[in-house]
Every structure is written in C-alpha cells, then in structure tokens.
Amino acid sequence: MQTKIVSEIQPLHDIGNMLYNISTTTLTLTLTNAKKRWRRAYFSVYFSNAMASIAKDVFSKALPVSHPTYSVVNIKEPVTDHFHGIDQTQLVDIVQNKDLEALRRFAGVKGLAKTLHTHLDDGIDGQDLNERRTVFGSNTYHKPPPKGLFYFVVEAFKDVTILILIGCAVLSLGFGIKEDGIKEGWYEGGSILLAVFLVIVVSAVSNFRQEKQFDSLSKISNNIKIDVVREGRRQKISIFDIVVGDIVVLNVGDQIPADGLFIDGHSLLVDESSMTGESEQIEVNATGNPFLISGAKVADGHCRMLVLSVGMNTSWGKMMSSITGDNNEQTPLQSRLNKLTSSIGKVGLAVAFLVLLVMLIRYFTGNTEDENGKREYNGKPTSVNEILDSVTGIFSAAVTIVVVAIPEGLPLAVTLTLAYSMKRMMSDQAMVRKLSACETMGSATVICTDKTGTLTMNQMTVTKFWLGLEYIEQHASNVFSLQVLELLHEAVGLNTTGTIFKHASRLVPEYSGSPTEKAILSWAVEHLEMDMEKLKQCSTVLHVETFNSKKKRSGVSIRRNNDNTIHVHWKGAAEMVLAMCSKYYISNGCKEIIDSDSRKQLENIIEGMAASSLRCIAFAHKKVFEGTETLAEEGLTLLGIVGLKDPCRPGSKKAIETCRFAGVEVKMITGDNLFTAKAIATECGILESGQEVCEDEVVEGVQFRNFTDEERMQKVDRIRVMARSSPFDKLLMVKCLKQKGHVVAVTGDGTNDAPALKEADIGLSMGIQGTEVAKQSSDIVILDDDIASISTVLMWGRCVYNNIQKFIQFQLTVNVAALVINFIAAVTSGGVPLTAVQLLWVNLIMDTLGALALATEGPTKELLNKPPVGRVEPLITNVMWRNLLAQAIFQITVLLTFQFKGKAIFNVDERVKDTIIFNTFVLCQVFNEFNSRKLEKRNIFKGIHKNRLFIGIIGITIILQIVMVEFLKKFADTERLNGVQWGICVGIAALSWPIGWVMKLTPVPDKPFLSYIRR
C-alpha cells in the first residue's frame, strides 16, 4: 500500500526517493546530534511543502478550470542548497584557532570531508565548482586599487622646478594680459603653461603605463600552480582556482595555498615564519597538529590536505590584501643615475644662477633692449609693471635652464628600459622578479648551473636494469622469480611520491610526480607489470623517510596484509644504497653475499652506466621484526640497479659556447655521481671532449667542503664540475667566487637551494621543476628550465646597461650644448636665444621621446663580443665622453656663430635668426639620436628597420618640429622659415653624422678620463 501511494505521488514531486534516501541514510550512518536535528528540520520543511503542493493539485483537479491559451513550460532550477547548513565561520575558526575539540565535534577530517561532499581518495567531482565559490568564496584576496593616471599627474606636479615654472607662467600671463589685453597678452604665459602641462602629461602617462606593466607581471608571478586531486585524477591548477573541499597534494618547497587539514602523509615539517615570525619548523600530523595555514611553506615531507577556507577567509588573504603593491625598489643602476642626475643638476643650478645674476645686472644697468631697439630699463620713468614683467621673463629663462640642465630623463630611461626588457624577457622564457637582476645579469662573470632539467631535457626513461650482476633485457620480467618481482613492485610502487591514474577511455596510464619518479613508475608498469592499486590493497605503509639532498635516498617500511611481515625498502643514489648492502638477489630469488670481488663488479656496473650519461638508482630490501621503529640502514639486500637516460638539451652546447665567448665561465654543480657528471659536462661542452680532464677541474662536494679556506680560494676558479654536491657546497662555492670578485649567477630548483640563490648576485630558479621556495628566493625565474634561456637573459642584461649608456650620451650632449649656448649668450648679449617654451620642447624631446627611442633597442649578438661590465666601472666611459664632447662642441660652435653673426649671414631679422638657431638645435638632436644608437660601431643604421618605435618617434619629432616652427608662431615664439632656410638647418644638423663617424675612428685610452681629474 505504501509503495502504491509513493508511486502515485512520485510523478508530481519525486518525494518517494527523498523519503527513502533520508530514512535509509538515517539508519545506516552514525550522525552527530547537530546533523540529526538539521536533517529532521529539513525533512519537516520539505515534507510540509510536498503535502501542501499535493493538496493543491487534488483541489485543482476537483474544481472546474478554464484551459489557458498559452503553454506552460516547467523549468527546473539548479539546486543551490548543496552546502546548506554548513557554518563557514566554524570552518575558518577550526584552522585559525587550531581547535582540536571543534574538529572532533565534526567527526575529524573524515566527517568534515563528508560534510563538504569530498571523497578523501578521489577529491571533489568538479561539477559544483561555481557553487563552492558562491558559498565559500574564491581563493583570491582584495587588492588595493592600482594607482590611476591622476596619481602620476599629481606626482609630476610635485617637482620643484615644474612648480617654479608654473609660477613664472602665471606671473607672465598676468602681466601680459594687463599690458596687451587678453587677446594678445596671454601668449607667452599661456605657452609656458601649455608646454609644462605637456611635459607633465607625457611623464605621467609613461609612468602609468610602466606601473600597469609591473602590475601585470606581478599577477603572472603570483599565479602559482599546485597539485590537486579531482574526480580521482591528480592535476595541476592555479592556486586561484582552489575551492573549499579540494584535496591538495603538498611536497617539499610548496607554499600552502589555503587553510586546511592534514589528511595523510609522512615526515611533514612546515615553516610558518611568514605568518607567525617563528623560524622553528612545526611538525604536522593527523593526531596532534593536523592544521595547515595558508602562506606557510613545506620544509620537509609530503602530504595531502583538505581545504577548509580560502581567500579572504584566511589570515594570509587578509594580510596580503593590506599590503600595497608599491614598486619602490631602487636598482643599483638607478641609484648611480640619481647621483649623476644630482651632480649635473647642481652644475645646472650654478649656471642658471649666474645667468640670472648677469641678466639682472645687465637689465638694471640699462644694457638690454626690447624688440624695437629701445632700452628696457630707464630708471624712474620705467613703470613697476614693466620692471616686474622683465624680471619675471629673466627669472623664467633662468628656471628653464635648470629644467633643461637637470636630466630627469635618466631615471625615466632606466624605468623604461627595465620595463621593456622585462616584457620582452617574458617572451624569451624568463620572468624577472627583481628589477635589479636585469642590469646585474649584464655584469655576470660566472654562472653556476644545475645539470638536471637545465643542461638536460628532464625527460627521463629507464634504459638499463641490472639484477645483481645480471643484465636484464627490456620486457624480460619472466626471467626472475615471483619473490623478486613482488619485492621490486613494492620497492617501486610503495617507496614513491608519484601516482598513477588510469583513464577509463585511455590505454596508457597517466603518471605524476618528479621526472625520476615518473620514469621508474612507467618502467615498472610497462616492463614489470606492476598494478599500483592492487599493491596498495595488499600492504600498509608504516613509516616513510622522504628523499633529501644530503642522504640522496628515500625509505619506507610496510606491513604485508597477508602474513603481517614487515619489510623495509630503500631507493636512491646507486653507490650510496650499495654501501648499505651486504647481499644481492639473483634471478631465482636466492641471495648472494657481496664480497670484495662482487662489490667491485657492482661498482664497475654503476660507473659504466654513469659514464654513459645514465643516472643510476638502486633498490634495496630488508625484512625486519615487529617493533623496529627506525628504518634499517645496514645489512640490506640489493634488489637491482636501474639506469635512467636524460638526454642533453639540443641547444645546451651552443649556449655554453655563447657564454664562454662573452667572457662568462659556466660551472656545473650536480648531485649526480662523478662519472655521470663528467659524461654530461663533456657532452654539453663544459669539459673539452678528447682532452684529459685536469684533477682540479672536476671535484666532489665532499672534497670541496674539506679543503682549507686557502685551498678553496686557490682552486675555485679552475673547478668546472662539482659532483655529488649538497646545497651547502653550492652556497660555499658562491661565497668563494664572490670573495674572488666575481659577479655570480646561480641556478636552483630545490628548497635547499634557497640560501645559494639568495647569496648569489643573480638567483635563477627553474619555472617547471623549481619549488615555490626556490622561486621566491630567486631574482629571475627561467620558465622553460633551459640553459639557452640563461644565455638570453645574459644578453638582455647587457642590453639594459648598453641602452642606458646610449641615452646618457644623448642627454648629456643636449645638456652641455644648451647650458653653454644660453650661458654665453646671456653673459655677452643679455638675452637667451632659446626661450622657455623652446627649451621645454627640447626637454620633452630628449627626456621622454629620447628615452623611449633609445631605451627600447633590442639585444644584439654584438653585445656578447665584449667582456662583462665590472661592478665599479664608470657609467660614462671614455668612448662616451669622446662622442658626446665632439657633438656638443660642434653644436655650440655652430649655434653661437648663428647667435652673433646670424643676422648678417642669413640677412634676416632677430626673430628669424632665433628661429633658425632653435630649429638647427632641435634637428641636431634628431640626427644625434641616430649616432647614439651605436656607441662604438660606425654603421649607425644597422638593424634600424627592426626598431619601429625608434623610427616612429623620429618621425613624430620632425612633424611636431615643423608644426612648432611653421604654425605655432605665437606659442613657440618663432617665425616661418623658407625652403632655403630649412635646407640650411637640415644640412648643418646632418653634419652630426660624418663628425660622429670620424670621431669613432679616434682611439681612446682604457683609463677613465675622470681618474686624471681626481688626481
């Protein structure tokens, strides 16, 4: 009867299934009181609504109704109360307060996983991700709003010289309108204001664009990839995509991406110093302390974690949202340029003060004339307004000289070239985390590189297998006994951090883990017919000792479920595992004692494989008694040795040759044994093939650390390969090289590499294999882990330095010429040929447009033909002094000749003469911009077609100059020039090219010019 009623109701509301599920669930599950109350309430509400709806349907059938003339479509809304009743604040408090009592009330991790609809083995199903984000939030934090354009406009207004100029412009505007009326009187003051506004806007827009670029690079840097388990499959996702209920896989060096609970794992130590300030590492386990806090880093071990809270519900999220993204980092080059700018500014101030003094004296002594040839100051008859107007004009001219003299474009040029380089380096597989690394890399003299993944492909495959002294062919697992096969399955499948996922639709399984783990797992599955799932069901893992770079091995103890026997398995560097063994297995399952002869044979097998560039991994086993707490490390039986081939990267040899040609020494520091290290180093070109290797060129880490300090300092330059090295050995080498005066770049991928990466002048971490700790300790992340990308970074580093030197040469030429011309003209004639507006226009050309044109030149291979730039080499080299002084003297000579003899030479009036001077001066800078492209090469046009921005800026400058001269007469205080006058201006300016070409033939001494002056 009950079944009949339910079947009648079901088509309407499907309440039967609901009743059945609730009743059966209540009977079969052990629920907490809170859950029981929630389920009863839910059942009551749902049942009441269902009954009311049924009654409504019954009455509607009994009453006559009119049939509607429209169709009714029943749309089922998606269920959004999947997580109804879960108190999010409780989830947050459990981890943040480390509340074990609250965790017990939820029936532990298993109870919480069930509440969050998470399967502890397979993870979440991936279908309700949006719902989880809606209910619990996303794993992102609120960032302070980025600085807008208005902020940079306000910053530009804070410049003292700009404020003084605005004050002069306002005074000039007031006097002009009072004297000549608003129609004619606004020109001079208005022109200065417009020019100042133009300089401010261009500077603000440029800084705003760079801020946006740095912000976008920061987003890429923060987008960390992490392993999660979803739908039974281990996969990498962005930390921003993690949701509450996710199962996260954590290994050494990972940053914990959210707050959560320890599910299972081994030997887990966590560094919470970024959150608590405590440097001591904290042990995390399932019983005493299962709490994992976001922002902390995994120092040792591995685990799986259940995510409980994300984003702004975590302490890390709240802390990060309060941190502003100010990029106030001053690179060493920027600091040096600020000092240079300050020094030049002081000279400019002194010159401007002298000009002001001379012009005031000339004015008040009656030695100045107006445009009509009348004396400007006549004592008492001269009105106060006229005096103030003239003094304001003089003061404005002096201030404008300061504006031109102070090369504020230098810091802008550094920012532009660094930002441009960072953007381009991203496309060349290098992500810059610290700006200073861009320029420092150009000075690198030594690169200490890893082997695996950097010089090699990091695509490992097992190519050889030895069972004791017997070589086993591929797919020959049937040649040895079932006992040995079972032990090998355990050695590979249970002593690993890798996993195997079998797709229902694919024949080939999916392997995850490190390249070494994946290679060994795939070999065991394909050649030894290992079944990972069956293996896990037959055994229980008791204790795990994770791999570390010091011992170079990992171990596990397991209990077999069928006979309760306990077995210890070790896996690691072949010679180290062999040293732990006293016996070895043969194919029939018997054990043979390792005597001196057989040990020598086994050592020869390992050396032979290593000499063939194979990484040798050995497996060892021992059966132990119940109650053994630590893993046995003596009296083991050797199970077998595998050789893994990791081919060299195709471009590694060429990249090392490129570095050597550029004067940069490459040293290989690896954890592999001596023979593998030698073979790979020879293959890559670090050691010369066919030549006998000197004793000092290849050492082991233990030798290096056992040298005395004097021996290390003597031998460190000659060492090319260091094998079996620990992270401490790498750090020691970096310190020695720096003491010898080298600029050191170091590559690293492991957590233990962090000290060496921080100690080095440039830390280069690996983007693919690098841990999060290594990346955060580095200056540049090599995204593809390739040595070729490191040589590209080297070239970009030199390009940054070279571009800034080009701009310094260009700007100082303008500074020297403008200062000398205005000073001499002011002292001799009482007026300056270049007005405030004209000098502001020149300032705009050389500062912003010049920086854009010269700071965005791409790197060329010519940069690698020279040795590295030293730490203390002067920014302005002898070559630069030669070039800039030659151009400045040429410009000063020509323009002063025009100033004093121009009216007679061209047969023109004063205004046309001043326009010719202004036009020639600007065009000289345009032509000199081409000269500045190459500091030493005579062919200044090489590669110009590749820099469209340079060509565009030159074109814009010429067009705007034509507009200034021909159409903005009152604004720029110019007169229109005829074709002949334009031809003279262009012809004289074009002489910059042959002068530059001739000057580059002139040799210069190696000793810096300024060193003679200092003596």
Q: Which residues are catalytic?
A: 450
Supply the DSSP string of 885-945, one letter for each residue.
HHHHHHHHHHHHHHHHHHHHHHT--HHHHHHHHHHHHHHHHHHHHHHTT-SS-S-TTTTGG
User: H or E segment at 292?
Assistant: strand 291-292
Residues 6+ apart with CB under 8 A from 91: 112, 136, 244, 308, 309, 313
Read off the tokens for 70. Answer: 């429209």
Burial 430-448 (b: 16+ CB within 10 A, else e): bbbbebbbbbbbbbbbbbb
Read off the tokens for 344. Answer: 């030049």
Query: How far apart are alpha carbons 218 and 211 in whole angstroms?
Result: 10
3-state secondary structure 164-176: HHHHHHHHHHHHH
Read off the tokens for 432. Answer: 């810059």
Q: Are 775 and 745 a contacting pair, CB within 8 Å?
A: no
The residue assigned the tokens 């950097």 is 454
Residue 700, SS3 per DSSP: strand
Query: How far apart are alpha carbons 926 and 916 in whole angstroms?
Result: 15
Query: How far apart are alpha carbons 791 and 684 in whole angstroms?
Result: 14
Q: What is the dihedral of CA 89, 93, 94, 100, to 10 degrees?
A: -130
Torsional class of 567: left (φ above 0), alpha (ψ -120 to 50), beta (otherwise): beta
Which one, of 616, 535, 533, lies nearest residue 577 by Cα? 616
Read off the tokens for 414. Answer: 């550094």
Query: How far apart are alpha carbons 671 and 677 in whole angstroms?
Result: 9
Maximum Cα–Cα distance for the chain, whole Å? 124
Query: How far apart are alpha carbons 680 and 104 in whole angstroms?
Result: 55
Count of CB atoms within 10 A of residue 575's CB? 20
DSSP 29: S
Integer distance in angstroms from the first to the last C-alpha of the chain?
Answer: 114
Read off the tokens for 234. Answer: 């281990």
Residues 6+ apart with CB under 8 A from 372: none
Instruction: Give bridge partners of residue 781 from the DSSP assignment.
Output: 431, 765
Query: How far apart are alpha carbons 430 and 381 in whole angstroms?
Result: 72
Residue positions counted in the chain: 1015
Residue 573, SS3 per DSSP: strand
The residue assigned the tokens 């590492």 is 281
CA 838 to centroid of chain Cα atoms:
42
User: H or E segment at 45?
Assistant: helix 33-62
How big is the chain by its Cα radius of gyration, in Å?
39
Which one, of 880, 899, 898, lies nearest residue 888 by Cα? 880
The residue assigned the tokens 């599920």 is 21
Read off the tokens for 1015. Answer: 């003596």
Q: Are 306 and 247 a contacting pair, CB within 8 Å?
A: yes
User: H or E segment at 91?
Assistant: helix 88-96
Q: Are 474 and 832 a contacting pair, CB within 8 Å?
A: no
Burial 989-1004 (b: 16+ CB within 10 A, else e): beebeebbeebbeeeb
